[in-house]
């Protein structure tokens, strides 16, 4: 059955472990894995990191990325999400999309399955999840903290319990990395989120106090207060999130070796201070660079035929 990656949990624990292993391999290990094949990259919303890291990941694997803007395909305006998905799956090895509504991805995956094509759908960010970001986050946390120590570590997320938080929390749960989240009333995790993370065996502490979340943490993570598509709520959100800025005072409560992550784009002076995002504890550029290596790992895992994997991750004959 085709695995569609609409959130990290779709990979399962073994799949996630394998993708992370592949993400650590040099580019040469992937040479030719997408030779003569295409990968569709549909964007209903703007992107810098996701588009560029995905295009380069495909190109370094010998494939041909086709980036497609919202106004070109017009999902559910020019034609239905189902028709867009079936069309793209006729040409491409993988169909990736950044969408306004998570349900669009579900409809695309169902349409492709229904057409009998074995083409996976990958979520490049939806209002619910951002799994490709979470893969890069885990790679970065492994590089900075060491995955073998994850069980004794804690990642504190301060801000909106949004798409980025949700995928990070799910990914952390799958690798046994405890997390905390601090959000103002009305912007924290839903009961459904908390239950889903618990069902994966995740250790999650929920608070409305950033200091409680960050105290002694090994990594501090934040994201924008207003996500793409929420622009009408920006002023209300600025007020609600006052006091939730990741600044030097807050970071001083974390472990002395703590690292600071942000998926970017960042708004200096809002969710993070310039001093912190541009400071010595920030690993945001390493995190951004890891978007490409983790995308290569994911694409390789999705397209490679079972049974042809060499121990070093190269394709067998």
- Going from the C-alpha of 214 to that of each of 33, 178, 192, 198, the distances in angstroms are 42, 13, 24, 21
Distance CA 204, CA 179 (A): 5
Phi-psi region of 247 (alpha: psi -120 to 50; beta: other; left: phi over 0): beta
Q: Report 148-207 residues binding ligand NVA (CB under 6 A).
A: 162-164
Which residue's CB is nearer to ligand CP, number 54 or number 183?
54
Q: Which does 48 bind (CB under 5 to 8 A by kind): ligand CP, ligand NVA, none?
A: ligand CP
Please choose, from the candidates 160, 164, 156, 159, the residue with its C-alpha nearest in 3D space to the C-alpha of residue 137. Answer: 164
> Tokens at residue 101, please?
């509504």
The interface partner of residue 227, options being ligand CP, ligand NVA, none and the CB cut-off 5 to 8 Å by kind, is: ligand NVA
CB of 125 to ligand NVA, least distance (A): 6
Question: x/- contact string, 223-252, with ligand NVA (CB under 6 A)?
Answer: xx--xx------------------------
Active site residues: 98, 130, 133, 223, 263, 291
Q: By the criterion CB under 6 A, which residues form the site for ligand CP?
A: 47-50, 125, 133, 263-264
Compare residues 227 and 300 and give the one whose CB is closer to ligand NVA.
227
Select the binding partner of residue 223 from ligand CP, ligand NVA, none (C-beta < 5 to 8 A, by kind): ligand NVA
Q: Out of ligand CP, ligand NVA, none, which partner does residue 126 contact, by CB within 5 to 8 A per kind?
A: none
Closest approach of Cβ 15 to ligand CP, in Å?
A: 21
List Cβ neighbours of 132 (8 Å cut-off, separation of 6 or more): 50, 54, 122, 123, 124, 125, 291, 294, 295, 298
Preceding omega of 265 cis (within 30 degrees of 0): yes
CB of 87 to ligand NVA, least distance (A): 26
Structure tokens at 107: 């409809």
Mapping DSSP to helix (H, G, I), strand (E, B) and coil, where does residue 182 land? strand
Closer residue to ligand NVA in complex, CB, 151/265 = 265
- With 0-12 CB in 10 A as exposed, 13-18 as middle and 19+ as buried, what is 164? buried
**Binding residues for ligand NVA restricted to 244-303, rule: CB under 6 A:** 263
Helix (H, G, I), strand (E, B) or coil at 261: strand
Strands of 259-262's sheet in order across: 204-207, 179-182, 155-158, 219-222, 259-262
Rounded to the nearest whole angstrom, what is the least distance from the CB of residue 271 to ligand NVA in the complex?
10
- Residue number, 33 or 287, with CB nearest to ligand CP: 287
Of 125 and 292, which CB lies nearer to ligand NVA in the complex structure? 125
140 belongs to the binding site for ligand NVA (CB under 6 A)? no
Take residue 268 and report the two structure tokens written for it: 């200096």
Least distance (Å) between residue 93 CB and ligand NVA = 25
The token duo for 276 is 């912190």
Per DSSP, the three-state class of 286 is helix
Q: Which is nearer to ligand NVA, 245 or 300 (CB)?
A: 245
Number of residues located near ligand NVA, criterion CB under 6 A: 9
Binding site for ligand NVA (CB under 6 A): 125, 162-164, 223-224, 227-228, 263
């Amino acid at each position: 059955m085709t695995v569609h990656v609409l959130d990290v949990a779709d990979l399962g624990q073994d799949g996630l472990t394998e993708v992370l292993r592949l993400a650590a391999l040099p580019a040469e290990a992937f040479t030719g894995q997408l030779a003569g094949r295409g990968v569709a990259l549909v964007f209903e919303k703007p992107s810098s990191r996701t588009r560029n890291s995905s295009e380069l990941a495909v190109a370094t694997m010998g494939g041909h990325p086709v980036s497609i803007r919202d106004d070109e395909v017009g999902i559910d305006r020019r034609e239905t999400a189902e028709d867009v998905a079936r069309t793209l799956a006729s040409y491409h090895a993988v169909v990736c999309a950044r969408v306004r509504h998570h349900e669009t991805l579900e409809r695309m995956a169902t349409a492709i399955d229904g057409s009998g094509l074995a083409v996976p759908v990958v979520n490049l960010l939806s209002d619910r999840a951002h799994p490709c970001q979470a893969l890069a986050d885990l790679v970065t946390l492994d590089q900075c903290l060491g995955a073998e120590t994850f069980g004794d570590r804690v990642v504190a997320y301060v801000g909106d319990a949004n798409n980025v938080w949700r995928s990070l929390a799910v990914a952390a749960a799958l690798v046994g990395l405890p997390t905390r989240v601090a959000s103002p009333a009305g912007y924290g995790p839903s009961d459904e989120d908390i239950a889903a993370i618990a069902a994966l065996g995740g250790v999650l502490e929920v608070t409305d106090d950033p200091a409680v979340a960050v105290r002694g943490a090994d990594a501090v993570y934040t994201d924008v207060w207003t996500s793409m598509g929420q622009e009408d709520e920006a002023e209300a959100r600025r007020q609600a999130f006052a006091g939730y800025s990741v600044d030097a005072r807050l970071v001083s409560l974390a472990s002395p070796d703590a690292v600071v992550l942000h998926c970017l784009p960042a708004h200096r002076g809002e969710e993070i201070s310039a001093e912190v995002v541009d400071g010595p504890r920030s690993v945001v550029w390493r995190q951004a660079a890891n978007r490409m290596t983790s995308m290569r790992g994911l694409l390789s895992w999705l397209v490679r035929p079972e049974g042809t994997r060499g121990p070093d991750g190269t394709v067998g004959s």
